[in-house]
Amino acid sequence: MAQQTGQSYVMREGSQVTRGFEAQTYNIMAAMAVAGAVISTLGPRGMDKMLVDSTGDISVSNDGATILRKMDIEHPAAKMIVEVAKTQDAEVGDGTTTAVVLAGELLRQAGVLTEKSVHQSSIIKGYLMAAEKALEIVKDMGVEVTEKDTAMLKKIAGTAMTGKDTENAKDFLSDLVVKSVAVTMQKDAAGKYYVERENLVFEKKKGGDVTDSKIIEGVLIDKGKVNFQMPSRLENVKVLAMDIGIEAKDTQFDAEFKIKVPGQFKQFADMEDRQIKEQVDKIAKLGVKAVFTTKAIDDLAQHYMAKYGIIGLRRLKTSDVRRVAKATGGSLVTNLDGITPADIGTAGLIEEITVGDDEMVLVSKCKDKKVTSVILRGVSEHILDEYERGIDDALHAVQNSIKDGKIVPGGAAVEAEISLRLKQYAMTVKGKEQLAIDAFASAMEVIPKALATNAGLSPIDMMIALKSKHGAKDGKNFGLNVYKGKPMDMLKEGVVEPMKLKTQAIQSATEAAIMILRIDDILAAAQTKNPAPGRR
């Protein structure tokens, strides 16, 4: 066979191929850059980030999920790290920064090993062994908690809100969160408690103080009645939730009407009016006194509804109308002709209330007592957004703790214990996997070091103090108290987190690191240029 010379090109001109160690280095550096962008936000003394989008809108936050979601990231490996944050947020609702920082540090440690000629397959195997052992350690540290332990649940909520803008009202909001969970909590088929998040909605209203926030049983709609002549308060009401409008029916196809005689236009208008009146009459005959719809309510329909003493709200969010249907025991109606008594809900009270400067409608004393609303007050939209994010984290933390029935000490106590015990475990493993397990253990130290650094403390001194405590008997619950600048028993201090937060962060970070370590080539296609306008 004749020997061929020269280079063969299998990709389009302009494509880029990065191979081997260079490709791995680029990926690791990209992952570390993402982790570096959020590491300073970690912990009670973490800093905020100012985010400016392409339109010039500014937002300030120290929430890892929010920061990464708004960052305009292009690098493929960096996007994979962002996926870690999304997974963590979807599964647990908190701990996104921990997961991303841990993934970045695992890759940095892997980069050090590859420079020492340790093959990726050995690193991956060692990381998998270390992750499995780490999860066992976390479970050993778990402390049981139940839905009845209100004091502990408040501490869980408080820990989740620490370091955010909600911290100044942490005690009040923790109490609000736990009460909200208690109202909306349900049992599943296995007898375990869970919180149906759709049953709990926060309505943000600018003005007042956060302590003016309150829980309201029922559905709160952020709109007033459509017509001032409609009643403002009704008791023992039949309720209709609709996904259709009360207006003249449009033709199915575009049509053109030619008026030849002057009276024909009036006949056409009268026909539309009759259609609208018939729809309102049909609703009134069903005994309905409150209508909530995602679509429009014609002005004439409003007039007839007011005469019948029916309150109406239009152009609502579908989620709000569904909540009304669920709370009142009705159904979401899509056709007036096919309404049955089962489609109509009931409410003990419907009233229009004033919150701040706005009118809102409250549907209360419903069949489903689990449907609840919370009015959240704050001095500005930015503060309200941060309150909402903090409360959302706290709700997830309390919910996960109740569902799994296990919590762990905070303040990086878990990471410090894992680091210590993994180093001991590494000594029992033969081969190059030992180096990977030891690197995994060192990577876990990035969390307590970041907490110390962000609080202005010496990370070296704090790690020495933490290792000393964890090396002693009954020291596994000691974490870093950044306010006092020393390790303390986090369970006694009331700094606790859901166990699932830690297990999910370890799993997500390890999987992302391994996925990136498996990549040895980057094949980037040539960028397609759009033709100039007017040219083909």
Q: What pLDDT, in 10s, does the model give residues 239-297?
A: 999 999 988 765 544 556 566 666 655 565 667 788 888 899 999 999 999 999 999 99
CA geometry: angle 148, 198, 383, nearest 5 deg: 85
In 10 A of CB 13, how many CB atoms?
Answer: 6
Residues of the chain with pLDDT under 70: 1-21, 249-270, 521-536
Model confidence pTM above 0.85: no
Residues 6+ apart with CB under 8 A from 520: 19, 20, 23, 24, 120
Predicted local confidence at residue 69, as pLDDT:
80
Residues linked to residue 202 through DSSP beta bridges, in sequence order? 374
Predicted local confidence at residue 536, as pLDDT:
45
Predicted local confidence at residue 344, as pLDDT:
94
Please state, in angstroms and rounded to a whole number, the distance separating the CA atoms of residues 262 and 255: 20
Report helix, strand or coil for 377.
strand
Please state, in angstroms and rounded to a whole number, the distance separating the CA atoms of residues 85 and 90: 8
Predicted local confidence at residue 1, as pLDDT:
43
CB 229 within 8 Å of CB 310: no
Rounded to 5 degrees, what are φ and ψ at 292?
Answer: -120, 120
Catalytic residues: 63, 96-97, 393
Please state, in angstroms and rounded to a whole number, the distance separating the CA atoms of residues 311 and 203: 21
- Secondary structure element (H or E) that encloses residue 524, with its range: strand 521-524
| Structural tokens at position 215 | 């829980």
Predicted local confidence at residue 6, as pLDDT:
46
CATH number of 219-370: 3.40.50.300, 3.40.50.150, 3.50.7.10, 3.10.20.600? 3.50.7.10
Pairing of strands 332-333, 233-242: parallel
* Closest listed residue to residue 463, CA positions, set 433, 419, 429: 419
Count of helices and strands (H, E) across the chain = 17, 21
In 10 A of CB 118, how many CB atoms?
Answer: 18
Predicted local confidence at residue 93, as pLDDT:
79
Predicted local confidence at residue 257, as pLDDT:
58
Please state, in angstroms and rounded to a whole number, the distance separating the CA atoms of residues 306 and 284: 11
Q: Where are the domains of the chain?
A: 16-144+408-524, 219-370
Predicted local confidence at residue 131, as pLDDT:
95
Please state, in angstroms and rounded to a whole number, the distance separating the CA atoms of residues 431 and 123: 11
Pairing of strands 478-481, 406-409: unpaired
Domain topology for 16-144+408-524: GROEL; domain 1 (1.10.560)
Residues 6+ apart with CB under 8 A from 472: none
Please state, in angstroms and rounded to a whole number, the distance separating the CA atoms of residues 380 and 96: 26
CB 111 within 8 Å of CB 28: yes
| Structural tokens at position 80 | 């994979």
CB 420 within 8 Å of CB 468: no
Cα distances from 275 to residues 37, 455, 460, in angstroms, run: 60, 68, 78
